[in-house]
Each structure stands twice: as C-alpha cells, then as structure tokens.
C-alpha cells in the first residue's frame, strides 16, 4: 500500500470510529416489568460497551454501569408487579390483563413526565443521534422523543401487540397471523378466528380511545406541540422485534421490522452445590419446571399440583421445580425445589431433558437456545401465541391449563422425551443460532443505521395508504360503476331495438292499454 493510501485508510477509520463513538443515544423505557427490561438491558449495555454515549430512562438503574452508561432512574415511582398473576387462563383473566395493560400504560406515562430528572433533560435538550423506545402499552415516550427531534427506533421484548400492525403496515389477518393473547397460532379454527377478531378490535379500541388518548392529554399538560401519538408511531424508523422465524414461523414484515430474538441469553455456568449433585446423579435425566417470575407456582390450585406430583411418580426422571414454599411432600431423591434457580445453567445441562413452562418469551428463548424440548402451558400475555409457536416449530407441545391432568401431562412429557423429538429440537436450536449476523450485532447495526440516515424513511407504503385504498374499495367502485353503466346501456339499447320489433309484432299488454287510450281520445 502506498503511504498516501495508508494515510487515507487510517484517517477514514478514525473518522468512522469517531463517528460511532460520538453517537449519543437515549433509551426511554416507561414500563416497569422486569421481564421486558432483561432483554433491553443487554442491548443498552452493549451499545455503551462499544463506546456509544448511552442515557437510559428506566425503572432499572444499573448496579455496575459500563463507562458511558448514564441512568435516569424511575425506580420506586410505581409499584412492582412481580408475582401477581393467578395460575389460570380464561376470558376473565384476559379481561383483567387488558385492564392491567391499559392502566399501567396510563400510569407509566404520568410517572415518567412527573420526574424532575426527565423534565430537566428535556429542558437541557441535548442532541441525541437516535432514541430507542419500548413499544408496548404506551406511546408516551414517543412524545418525549419528539422533543429531541431525533430518529426513533422501537424495541420489543416479545411479538407485536394488536395495535402495532397498522402503524408499521404489517398485514394483520386473523386467518394466519397468530394473535398475541389467544390460542390458535397460524392455523386457527373458525372459533379462534371469530374470537381473535373480537379481541383484536377490543384491544385496539382500548389502546386508541383510553391509553393513547390519556397519554396525549398527559403530554399536553407539559408541552403544547406534541403531534398525535399514532402519527409519531408511524415515524418510527425501525422496530426491533425479539423473536426469529425459526420459532415464530415466516411472517410478513416490511424491511424496517427486524427480528433480533435471542441475544439476552447468557453463557451457562456449571451448576453448583446440592443442585449439581441432584442433576448429575439423575440416572434418567431431569425435567425442569418453572412458571417464571410473574406467576407463582404456589398460587396453583392444590388439585393441579397433585396431578403434577402424580405424573412425577410415573416417570423415571428426576424433577427440578421453581417453587416458592417448602410444603411439597415428595421424596428428596425425586424432586428438588427452590424459590430461585439458575434457569439458564439448568437448561444448558446435558441431563436436562424437558422444560415445563408458562411459555414466557424469556424462558422460551433460553430453551430454544440450549435445545431443550418444552411442554408449554400458557397463562396470559403473549404466552398463548408463544405456546402455539413452540408446537408449530417442533420445539415442544402445548398443554392448556384447562387440560392439565395426570394423563395429558404424562402424554406431553412422553412425547417430548422421545429421542427422535429431542433430535429434532437439537436441529431447531442449531438453525436458530445459524444467522448471517448475531442478533445483538443486528440490533446495534440497524439502530446506528437509523442514526446515520436521519432523513430517510424506511416505512412501507402500506402504512400510509388510507384504509379504503388498502382494501381497494375505490378500485372496486370504479369497476362496479363501469359494469353497471355497460349493463344499463346494453339494456336500454336492447329495449330500444327489440322494443320496436315488439310494438310491430305481438299485442302486448302495454300496447293494448295504449290502443284503448288512443280510442278514448
Ligand atoms: C453523554 O451523556 C451524558 C448524559 O446524558 C451527558 O451529560 C454527556 O454530555 C454526554 N457526553 C457526550 C460526549 O455527548
């Protein structure tokens, strides 16, 4: 290389690294659910580790923030939610869930805007190159992002919510698009399609006319120039979705909706202490049971617990169960319980043969990461859709809570314990990892892409087309009009030429009447 070329290369490298390092990134996370932030945290820390200047508004300040990571903490401003969901899945719990979504969407916005540190930041108005905003149950943060006039990237820790399809121009069709809160996956029955049509309408209306309207009013108390939040939603440059088609199946997404699922899973550590002994001495392997952090296993009805215990007696495997109290009377050689368990380390252990879970997105991602077959028993939220995806992707089988009994659970375990099933799950896991760019790099890449090209818009035209055009009502109207005109013209033409013949020929009724009239006259 010539010295001049070398200098040019070095200089451009300097400019490039300097560009990336000088990026000023703001993250706004008004929702206080820990299971979501577990995902975002990995991404935000990574941005800081790569030298970007990262400021994060959230309920989860870092204990040991990396250099360049600045917290604006909302911790303690709203009641935590962990451990409150009942072990039940019905229209009633779905309704309660919808109210939870709507009211927290309203409260999170009020808390966010009432925060002095947030208000100070808005007043200081530093220049941000890109703003990362969670897309969940509130668009409030989009209003704040608007004040900084920076490109916005949306991020989610799960599949799309019903009200996100329209703004992104993603086709929603109950016939093949799995519905967040309900069963049926990509192959719904007629019952499921009717059910999801009703609930889709309900969730969209609740969001638009309650949560979003309230957020808009809250914002208006502080600022007088915030555009309609739905419009700001359409301005999002990219949406980072936390899943991948190997699990969810091939979806119809525009170019600016990016699948980045998988990056939160940490490398497993070896098990330690009694748990290590219990797992490694299991001659026939281990089955792991956990219903996550929001559902407490100890709120499970006693008769359901008994069904699970009965199944344990009929299988040779040992069981490890995340269980919060010490009341289970089972042989210590058969069952190990604890209120906290190192989930990733258990799933990564070669003795772990199956995972009975509520199909939360975190645990499901960890299971596919380490290739552990699942029995998915959804409780609420996105879990019914995840459970359907688990079954459709061959990662496991679903078992609804209403069907939980000794025989059904035993059959589900027998199915996923089959060596052939296990082999298939290992293949699914291999395909999940096989990507052109690791998911964390993908997420960082498109976030910085949005910062680099702030004047570009990557939204599909489908998001901008008025509804009547989207379903081609006007085109249909044109054709119907033309066909009607041709029909009318033809008919009158036929009447004129054939009508003359008729008047010459037959004595038709009208002819007779006219003749009578003529006689009288
Ligand atoms: C990085 O972010 C912090 C907090 O928002 C801010 O005070 C600081 O000025 C920023 N640094 C640079 C170099 O932009």
pLDDT in tens, 405-445: 999 999 999 999 999 999 999 999 999 999 999 999 999 99
What residues pair up with 73 in beta bridges, in sequence order? 58
Kindly list the strands in the beta sheet with 53-58, ordered across the sheet, starting from the edge strand earlier in the chain: 69-73, 53-58, 24-28, 130-134, 152-155, 238-241, 257-259
Taking Cα atoms as reference points, which of 177, 152, 162 lies closest to residue 25?
152
Mean pLDDT for 259-283 is 97
User: What distance in Å separates the CA atoms of residue 191 and residue 198, rounded to the nearest whole number?
Assistant: 11
487, containing H or E segment: helix 473-504
- Strand, helix or coil for residue 208: helix
* Summary mean pLDDT of the chain: 91
Q: Determine the pLDDT at residue 153.
A: 98
- How many A from CA of 131 to the centre of ligand 1? 14
> Tens digits of per-residue pLDDT, 93-106?
999 999 999 999 99
- How many A from CA of 66 to the centre of ligand 1? 14
User: What distance in Å separates the CA atoms of residue 399 and residue 415, rounded to the nearest whole number?
Assistant: 12
Contact 240, 154 (CB under 8 A): yes
Nearest residue by C-alpha to atom 14 in ligand 1: 24
> Tens digits of per-residue pLDDT, 39-85?
999 999 999 999 999 999 999 999 999 999 999 999 999 876 655 67
Question: Is the pLDDT confidence value at 124 over 50?
Answer: yes
Which of ligand 1's atoms lies nearest the C-alpha of 24?
A: 14
Which residue in this structure is represented by tokens 């392997």? 285
Of the residues 51, 55, 127, which should be mutated to test ligand 1's pocket, given the most ligand atoms within 8 Å of the CB?
55
Q: How many CB atoms lie within 10 A of CB 334?
A: 15
Q: Determine the pLDDT at residue 292.
A: 85
Question: Is the pLDDT confidence value at 389 over 70?
Answer: yes
> Tens digits of per-residue pLDDT, 160-177?
999 999 999 999 999 999
Burial class (CB in 10 A: 0-12, 13-18, 19+), 181: buried
**Alpha helices in 320-472, H assignment, sequence order:** 343-348, 361-370, 383-392, 406-417, 419-433, 439-452, 467-470
Which residue in this structure is represented by tokens 């917290």? 71
The dihedral sign for the CA sequence 412, 418, 420, 422: positive
Q: Determine the pLDDT at residue 515.
A: 53
Mean pLDDT for 382-389 is 97
Nearest residue by C-alpha to atom 5 in ligand 1: 55
Contact 331, 339 (CB under 8 A): no
Q: Determine the pLDDT at residue 518.
A: 54
Q: Determine the pLDDT at residue 15.
A: 47
Decide: 70 in ligand 1 pocket, CB within 6 A: yes
Decide: 53 in ligand 1 pocket, CB within 6 A: yes
Mean pLDDT for 378-386 is 95
User: What distance in Å separates the CA atoms of residue 419 and residue 415, rounded to the nearest whole number?
Assistant: 9
- How many A from CA of 27 to the centre of ligand 1? 13
Q: Determine the pLDDT at residue 86.
A: 78
Q: Among 21-25, 208-212, 422-426, 486-490, which is the least confidently predicted range? A: 21-25
Nearest residue by C-alpha to atom 10 in ligand 1: 53
User: What distance in Å separates the CA atoms of residue 71 and residue 364, rounded to the nearest whole number?
Assistant: 29
Decide: 65 in ligand 1 pocket, CB within 6 A: no
Strands (E), 33-169: 53-58, 69-73, 130-134, 152-155
DSSP string, 8-61: HHHHHHHHHHHHHHT-EEEEE-----HHHHHHHHHHHHHHHHTT-EEEEEES--
- How many A from CA of 33 to the centre of ligand 1? 27
Mean pLDDT for 231-244 is 97
- Read off the pLDDT band of 296 (50, 70, 90): confident
User: What distance in Å separates the CA atoms of residue 462 and residue 494, rounded to the nearest whole number?
Assistant: 44
> Tens digits of per-residue pLDDT, 200-232?
999 999 999 999 999 999 999 999 999 999 999
Q: Determine the pLDDT at residue 517.
A: 55
Of the residues 19, 24, 72, 129, which should be mutated to test ligand 1's pocket, given the most ligand atoms within 8 Å of the CB?
24
Residues 6+ apart with CB under 8 A from 404: 304, 307, 308, 377
- Domains of the chain, each with CATH number or no CATH: 22-263+438-459 (3.40.50), 273-433 (3.40.50.2000)
Which residue in this structure is represented by tokens 């919510």? 161
Residues counted in the chain: 521
More confident residue, 1 or 190: 190
Q: Determine the pLDDT at residue 502.
A: 54
- How many A from CA of 488 to the centre of ligand 1? 72
Decide: 55 in ligand 1 pocket, CB within 6 A: yes
> How much is the pTM?
0.89
């Amino acid at each position: 290389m010539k010295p001049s070329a070398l200098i040019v290369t070095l200089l451009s490298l300097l400019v490039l690294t300097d560009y990336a390092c000088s990026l000023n990134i703001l993250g706004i996370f008004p929702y206080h659910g820990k299971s979501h932030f577990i995902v975002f945290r990995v991404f935000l820390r990574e941005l800081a580790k790569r030298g970007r200047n990262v400021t994060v508004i959230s309920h989860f300040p870092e204990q040991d923030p990396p250099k360049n990571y600045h917290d604006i903490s909302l911790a303690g401003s709203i009641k935590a939610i962990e451990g409150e969901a009942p072990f039940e899945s019905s229209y009633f719990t779905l309704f309660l869930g919808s109210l939870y979504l709507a009211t927290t969407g309203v409260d999170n916005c009020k808390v966010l805007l009432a925060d002095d540190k947030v208000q100070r930041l808005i007043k200081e108005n530093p220049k941000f190159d890109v703003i990362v905003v969670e897309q969940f149950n509130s668009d409030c943060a989009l209003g704040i992002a608007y004040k900084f006039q920076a490109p916005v990237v949306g991020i989610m820790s799960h599949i799309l919510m019903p009200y996100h399809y329209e703004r992104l121009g993603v086709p929603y069709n109950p016939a093949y698009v799995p519905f967040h809160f309900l069963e049926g996956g990509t192959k719904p029955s007629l019952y499921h399609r009717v059910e999801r049509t009703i609930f889709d309408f309900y969730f969209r209306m609740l969001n638009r006319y309650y949560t979003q309207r309230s957020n808009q009013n809250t914002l208006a108390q502080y600022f007088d120039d915030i555009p309609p939040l739905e419009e700001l939603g359409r301005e999002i440059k990219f949406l980072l979705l936390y899943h991948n088609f190997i699990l969810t199946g091939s979806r119809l997404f525009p170019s600016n909706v990016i699948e980045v699922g998988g990056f939160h899973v940490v490398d497993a550590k070896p098990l330690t202490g009694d748990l290590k002994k219990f797992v490694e001495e299991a001659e026939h392997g281990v089955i792991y049971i956990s219903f996550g952090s929001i559902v407490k296993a100890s709120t499970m009805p006693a008769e359901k617990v008994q069904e699970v215990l009965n199944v344990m007696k009929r299988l040779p495997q040992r069981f490890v169960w995340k269980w919060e109290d010490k009341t289970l009377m089972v042989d210590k050689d058969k069952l190990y319980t604890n209120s906290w368990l190192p989930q990733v380390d258990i799933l990564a252990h070669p003795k772990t043969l199956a995972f009975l879970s509520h199909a939360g997105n975190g645990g499901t991602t960890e299971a596919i990461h380490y290739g552990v077959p699942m029995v998915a028993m959804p409780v609420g939220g996105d879990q019914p859709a995840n459970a359907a995806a688990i079954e459709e992707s061959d990662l496991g089988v679903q078992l609804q809570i209403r069907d939980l009994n000794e025989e059904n659970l035993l059959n589900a375990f027998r199915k996923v314990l089959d060596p052939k099933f296990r082999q298939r799950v290992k293949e699914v896991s291999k395909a999940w990892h096989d990507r052109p760019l690791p998911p964390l790099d993908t997420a960082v890449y498109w976030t910085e892409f949005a910062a680099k090209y702030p004047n570009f818009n990557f939204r599909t035209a489908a998001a901008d087309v008025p509804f009547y055009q989207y379903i081609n009502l006007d085109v249909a109207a044109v054709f119907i009009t033309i066909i009607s005109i041709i029909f009318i013209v033809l008919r009158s033409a036929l009447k004129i030429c054939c009508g003359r013949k008729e008047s010459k020929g037959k004595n038709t009724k009208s002819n007779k009447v006219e003749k009578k009239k003529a006689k009288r006259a």
